[in-house]
Amino acid sequence: MPYYKFEKNDVLRNQVKAYPESNFIIYENKVYYNKKVHRKGRLNDIVPHVSSGYISLHELNVDRPNSMEGMIYPFVTKQGTLSSFKTISTSDFYSQFEYGDTMTGTYPMSATISREWYTASAMTTEQTVGNGTDIIINKPHILALKNTLNYYRRLSEHYAYTSSLGDKSYQDMNLISIPSIFYGSSIKKGSVDLKFYLSGTLIAELKDKKRNGELIETRFHPTASDTNLVAGVVLYNEGFILLTGSWNIHDTHTAKYRGGAASAVSPAWKYFGIGSELASDFSFVAGTAPSSSFELNFKGTNYIQVLTMNAHARRGTLNYSNNPTYIQYGQDLTSSVTNEGYVENPTKVIKNITTSSFDNYSASYKRQTYISTIGIYDKDKNLIAVAKLANPVKKTEDRDFTFKMKMDI
C-alpha cells in the first residue's frame, strides 16, 4: 500500500462560525427542548436516559438498561496518587474509602435551562449585629453577578445593579440560567425572543431588538399605555437572563405565579418560565399557572475548527490493488524458495476488466483500479482517520484525481 506525504498547500486550517438555534417551551412544570419528545427504546423507556428538556452532554448510555451492569459509569480506584472525584470531600476520601476501593459516578451528564425566583421580601432579612441592624441580602446568585452587571452598564443603564431604575437587591427578580452547551461561545445578539402565552394565545413578547442586552416588549395587550418597556437584560457571554418587569401583561387573568399560599396575581414578565425552577436551599417556592405557557428562543455563537486535506492520485500512480479479485482466478499467489521462505509469484496475470455493451467484444489490457477508501496516518504511520467514498472512483494510468476531505477538530 503506497503512502504519500501531504505537501505544503495540501493541508488547510480554517474556522467556521455557526449560529445553532435553541427553542425551549415550558408548560405544566415540564421543559421541552427544540420541540423534541422522548421515544421508547428497545431496552429503556427513555432512550437518552435524561428527562424532558435536557440534553445528554456526551450521549452515553443511549438505550441501555437501568442497571449497574448495563450502564457506562466513571470510576476511580483509591491509590497512592490520591485521585478522586470532585463530589467526594477530602474527609470522606480518607474516612469512607480504603486503599484499593473503587469510587464510582454516574452517566449521562445532562443540562437544561433553569429558573430562580426571588421575591423582594425573601431577598432581604434583618440581623442584629452588636448595637446595630444589618440587612442580609439572601440571593447569592444575583450578588455573584453584581460586578458583571455593572461592567455592562456602558451598554445600557438597565444593567446597573443600583441606579435610578431600581436596586436589584430589593427587586422581585427572575433569573434564567442557560448552560453554555446550548450556545457555545456566547448568545448571538439580537436573537433572544421570549413569548408569554395564555391558553395557547400569545399575549406578550420580548426581544433584544437593540442588540444591547435590553429585553424590550414588542407585543403587548391592547390596553397597554406604554411601549418599548424594558423587562430585563441578557448577559450574552455568561448565559443569564434577568427579568424584573412587573407591569401586568393581561387585564383580567390571574394565577398563583408566586407559588405557595400566595394570592393570585396578574401575569407579568417577572413570572416568566414557571415550571423550570431550580430547587435550592435559599429561596424557592414553585408557582402554579396551568393556563400559562412560555417559549424561549435564541441563537448561539459557536466556532468550529475545520481541517481540510487534499489527497492527490497522480497520473501513472495507484494502478495496482491488493484486492484478491484483482488477478485472474486460479493462479498461485506465491512461489516456494527452498530454505528462504516464500516470495510473490512474479508471473501473475492481472484480470482484464475492460468491458463493452457489444457482443463478443475484446480489448487490450489497461491498468485500472477503483479507489474507495483513503486512510490518514500520522508521522509514525498510525492510522488516525479514514475517509470512505460514496461510490468507488475508477482510476486509470492517464487520469489525475484530487480528493478533498474535511474534518472538524
CB atoms within 10 A of CB 301: 18
Is residue 21 included in any domain, yes or no?
no
Domain count, the chain: 2
Residue 393 lies in a domain: yes
Q: Give the pLDDT confidence score for residue 319 in this predicted structure.
A: 81
- 143 & 279 share domain: yes
Q: How far is CA 22 from CA 25, 112, 264, in A?
A: 10, 11, 32
Pair 297, 309 in one domain: no
Q: Is residue 147 part of a domain?
A: yes
At 282, is the pLDDT very low, low, confident or very high (cuts 50, 70, 90)?
Answer: very low
Same domain, residue pair 194 and 239: yes
Q: Which residues contact 390 (CB under 8 A, 6 or more apart)?
A: none
φ/ψ (deg, to 5) at 353: -110, 15
Domain identity same for 172 and 266: yes
The answer to whether residues 333 and 401 belong to one domain is yes
Q: Is the pLDDT of residue 216 over 90?
A: yes
Is the domain of 238 the same as that of 338? no
Task: Check whether residue 285 and residue 372 sit in a common domain.
Answer: no
Q: Does any domain span residue 39?
A: no
Task: Name the domain boundary from 302, 323, 356.
Answer: 302
Helix, coil or strand: residue 255: strand
CA distances from 123 to 176, 246, 299 (A): 17, 16, 32
Q: Looking at the domain assignment, is residue 32 inside a domain? A: no
| Tens-digit pLDDT profile for residues 351-400 | 777 666 666 666 677 778 889 999 999 989 999 999 999 999 988 888 89
Residue 200 lies in a domain: yes
Considering the domain architecture, whether residues 234 and 359 belong to the same structural domain is answered as: no
Q: Are residues 273 and 374 in the same domain?
A: no
Last residue of a domain, one of 302, 323, 338: 302
pLDDT at residue 281, rounded to an integer:
36
Final residue in a domain of this structure, among 302, 319, 335: 302
Is residue 298 domain-shared with residue 324, that is, in the same domain? no
C-alpha to C-alpha distance for 299 and 207, rounded to whole angstroms: 13
Residues contacting residue 59 through CB under 8 Å, at least 6 positions apart: 48, 108
User: Per residue in 98-149, pLDDT tens?
Assistant: 999 999 888 888 999 999 888 776 555 555 555 554 555 567 888 899 999 9
d(CA 276, CA 123): 20
pLDDT in tens, 321-349: 777 777 877 776 666 665 666 676 777 77
Buried b (16+ CB within 10 A) or exposed e, 195-232: bbbbeeeebbbbbbeeebbbbbbeebeeeeeeeebbbb
For residues 243 and 370, membership in a common domain is answered with no
| Cell (9 digits) for 298 | 435564541
At 182, which amino acid appears?
Answer: F
Within a domain: 70: no
Query: Are 229 and 215 a contacting pair, CB within 8 Å?
Result: no
DSSP 3-state of 344: strand
Mean pLDDT along residues 225-231: 76
According to DSSP, residue 351 is labeled P
Domain of 357 in residue numbering reads as: 305-408
Residues of the chain with pLDDT > 70, as a percent, come to 84
Q: What is the mean pLDDT of the chain?
A: 84
